[in-house]
Amino acid sequence: MRALLDRRTGIVLKPYSSGLFAGAKVYLAWLLMAGLMLVSLFYGFFYALTTPFLLTQFVAPLGLLGALVVWALPDMRTAPTRALEILFFAFFIMAILWPNYLAISLPGLPWITSVRLVGFPLAFILLVCVSVSAEFRAKVAASVLAIPGLWVFIAGFAVVQLASVAVSGSPIASLNLVVAQQVSWTAIFFTACYVFLRPGNVEKWAMVLCVGTVGLCFLGLWEQKLEHVPWSTHIPGFLAVGDEYVQKVLAGSRRLGVGLYRVQTIHSTPLGFAEYLALTTPFLIHFMMGPFRGPVRLLAGLSLPFVLYVILATDSRLGVVGFLLSVLVYPLVWSFLRWQRVKGSLLEPAIVLAYPLFFVAAMSATFLFQRIKIKVWGGGAASYSDRARIDQLNSGIPKIFSHPQGFGAGEGAGALGYTNLAGTLTIDNYYMLIALDYGIAGFIFYYGAILIVIFAIARGVLAREVNEDRDREIGFLVPIGISLLAFFIIKAIFSQDLNHTLQFMMMGAAAAVMYRIKTGGAPKTTEDLAQ
């Protein structure tokens, strides 16, 4: 050991430098090693003494140390991008098919949710790719910059999220929430910006989304017959089923006043499931009307009334609103694009020119027919929800302006102090929840990111950049834009964030496809990006 420490070269791998010990005495190295051993001894002792009560506090320094190690990795010719892509799709499948309220519960350990099981390895691999590959960094940067200003809103919101921990009344709880959101939102967005550069991945993602949706709808029919989720009495003991929140979810949901059972499948609430179905509807319409094979179009078309029926089984107005929005907007965009590409056709210009009349007729029907009016605008048993949202707005808006910096991640509901009939703190409006949690700046960054993607897609449509004849995957910008628009509207009446992973995936997909429009394909080397 002494001989190795006496040497000035050969003990440090390139491209690292051994200048730290140049001219230093040998005992300095021994002193540092002894200090490290002493710190490790006390660190391990107090960890064993306090676990699991201070688990987060003791794990956080190790996470920072791991991030430092990843940052210090040297550049390499290859990066584990294939593993990143596999983990991305694994996370996506778990997000849409696994019950979000079930997690592995082992004695002395925190719940192992899908975010921890797949999301943390994905975030780690993403950091490794960023650290070791200049080509990977260049591709992700090029994809994000394809929509001007998007990176400002994404990065700004991430910074505001981290800063919210400092103003939170429960900093540990806020930190846990922010870390989970950085994995399932921010890391997923940047991963999507890279994964969807590969031709075929956007269509593969949309196909998995639609197939999963149809499968969940069949599950919803089964649940409707049983009036409880099918697995409620068949859950293994190692899953966290003893928690009070999980028990409430497994008990199901019924409409107050009428007792109607509301389907929820893998989601914790019928509203969350209805939102999910509304977000996937534009993709089903796209597979029905887009340039796909006959069997695909037929199955997609048959799936639409099936999805609408299950949305009605959730008894959630937001699902009906999202579905109608897709049905109204997609044909207009489709007709406009076809009118530009297919010369001499009369159908497409007729639809575009007659659309104002069609839209007015559709909106009038929601007011003239009582059953449709109740499903879209509410009334009767849904009146309590309307009054609750009004009361929350009246109470919450003054609190937002009195605390423009926010109350901290996850603290908005407590700051508002509104409870439902079951005595549970709740906020129905996600606009207000974002502002209460992250302040006015967080509100601007979060919703600004969504709007800037929608406007970029709309601008691409009007500029005739969305041309499926050039690349079939470019056409997926249309359902992505409509789905994000529906998401933006739904957030006015639904505050849960269980489907937000899909939102950030779609924003990343939009950025990647917009880059492919501008360059004619995904970049292969850093030289391609420089040109």
Answer for the pair 182, 236: CB distance below 8 angstroms, yes or no.
Answer: no
- pLDDT tens, N- to C-terminus, the chain (531 residues): 455 445 444 455 555 555 555 555 566 777 878 888 888 887 787 777 776 666 666 777 777 777 777 777 777 778 899 999 999 999 999 999 988 788 777 666 667 777 778 988 999 999 999 988 889 999 999 999 999 999 999 999 999 999 999 898 888 888 888 988 999 999 999 999 999 999 999 999 999 999 999 999 999 999 999 888 888 877 777 776 666 777 788 877 887 767 788 999 999 889 999 999 999 999 999 999 988 899 999 999 999 999 999 999 998 888 899 999 999 999 888 888 888 777 767 777 777 777 778 777 777 777 776 676 667 666 655 566 667 778 788 888 888 888 899 898 888 888 888 776 666 777 888 898 999 999 999 999 999 999 999 999 999 888 777 777 677 888 899 999 999 999 999 998 888 888 999 999 999 999 999 998 888 765 554 444 444
Q: Hey, what's the torsion of the CAs at 186, 287, 326, 209, to 10 degrees?
A: -40
237 membership: H or E segment, kind and range = none
* Triad 368, 371, 372: Cα angle to 5°: 65
> What is residue 111's three-state secondary structure?
coil
**Positive or negative, the Cα torsion across 487, 448, 503, 388?**
negative
Which tokens in the block code for residue 419?
Answer: 């409870």
Distance between CA atoms of residues 51 and 104, nearest Å = 19
CB burial class (10 A; 0-12, 13-18, 19+) of residue 104? middle
Distance between CA atoms of residues 315 and 2, nearest Å = 75
pTM here is: 0.85
In this structure, the number of other CB atoms found within 10 A of the CB of residue 420 comes to 13
> What is residue 239's three-state secondary structure?
strand
Distance between CA atoms of residues 513 and 527, nearest Å = 20
Rg of the Cα trace of the chain?
Answer: 26
